Amino acid sequence: MSEPTVQMLPAWPQSDGAARAAAAFRARFGAEPDGVWSAPGRVNVIGEHTDYNGGLCLPIALPHRTYVALATRPAAADGAAGHDPELVRLASAQESGAWEGRLADVGPGTVPGWAAYAVGVAWALRQDGHAVGGFDAVVDSCVPYGAGLSSSAALECAVAVALDEVHGLGLADDDAGRARLAAACIRAENEIAGAPTGGMDQAASLRCTAGHALLLDNRDGSTRHIPFDLSAHGLALLVVDTRAPHQLADGQYAARRAQCHAAADALGVPTLREVEDLDAALARLGTALPAGAEVDVIRRRVRHVVSDTRRVELVERLLDADEVEQVGPVLTEAHASLRDDYEVSVRELDLAVESAVGAGALGGRMVGGGFGGSAVALVRADDVEPVAQAVAGAFASAGLTAPAFLVATAEGPAGRSA
């Protein structure tokens, strides 16, 4: 039996991505865009499902980006038809059809599909008091779609920096302003797209810096940029897109979030971040939760969240001490916690981690919300190809859809590309 082909997913050079988006804009609207902006997807090194629990996480921005060619729509002096300053027209190279509507009509439940993530940002900025008008935009992206690498946040953040610049808001000029842009993107996703995600993805896309992982404290929004150059240590972070469908809007993610909030309420703390004595907290939940609650299930959810923030702290210390190889076993421990306590893994994610570690990876885990998507493996640089080959072979033997791969390097944040 021949070895399966390893499919790598390359990132576009920014100049190519910008050119693609601009060309698509001209073809769609017959005019030049005001510019092209882009934002990266993200992969989270450690700290999963901690963001909405006030915990810590450690993402990096990927070289894979979403590009948005955009132009404002000023009103004609004579009020001529076709120059409605409230109108938004959207198209995507990845999606069939287009969306058109007026900003004044946008609200929760009013915009279907992918367009909600884009126009929702304009709505959220308006809700925050910013004078944002209508626009035309075309999207093109090399962030793997449905892979748990934050293609939705990349879209939101590319639109956010575009609107920020064309309307002179100045928020993208410093980190505090970028935090406000991230908040608008989170609100767009939560309220307009209806996906109750946390804030890590948007923070990573807007606030990461090249060559660094972003230590994000979700309790107060503070950050620390930790040098993250794996190649200098002869290592690489291999991402496995399992091609298992990745959906966060089917209720599973929301259920986990509700369970965590129920636990925090029962313990009398704002978030699970305030839990210091884990054993005492787990014992207390037996009597503190309301009658009928799934006590054992909620205990497992709490154990994962609290222990994963502690794993982020451990990885921070290991990176600071240049003990980068020791990060591997922490990743594998985190995967077991996500699989057994948080119950968000699936067969493909487990197989990706097991086969990678079996082929010599230093460690690995599922990333993102779970229920499909991607896994990561910390590997020696010389082992990227053999580990990918082993994972692809394991999937073929199991009769699963062939996975795809990319090597994650820590890149820069959202901004203008052309």
**Which residues are tagged catalytic?**
201
Among 301, 314, 371, 308, residue whose Cα is nearest residue 335: 308
Q: Residue 342 to residues 195, 291, 370: CA-CA distances in angstroms?
A: 19, 22, 10
Rounded CA-CA distance 316/73 in Å is 46
Nearest to 91 by CA among 115, 67, 71, 113: 115
Amino acid identity for residue 107 in this structure: G
Partner residues linked to 135 by β-bridges: 72, 88
Cα torsion through 205, 209, 212, 213, rounded to 10:
-30
User: In this structure, are residues 288 and 267 in contact, taking their beta carbons and an 8 Å threshold?
Assistant: yes
**How many C-beta atoms surround the C-beta of residue 66 within 10 A?**
32
Supply the DSSP string of 111-149, one letter for each residue.
Answer: S-TTHHHHHHHHHHHHHTT-----EEEEEEE-SPTTSSS
DSSP 8-state assignment for residue 320: H
Q: Is 48 helix (H, G, I), strand (E, B) or coil?
A: coil
Q: What's the 3-state SS for 200-252?
A: HHHHHHHHCCCCEEEEEECCCCCEEEEECCHHHHCEEEEEEEEEECCCCCCCH
Amino acid in position 110: T
Please state, in angstroms and rounded to a whole number, the distance separating the CA atoms of residues 99 and 83. Answer: 17
In 3-state terms the chain splits into helix, strand, coil percentages (rounded to 5) of: 45, 20, 35
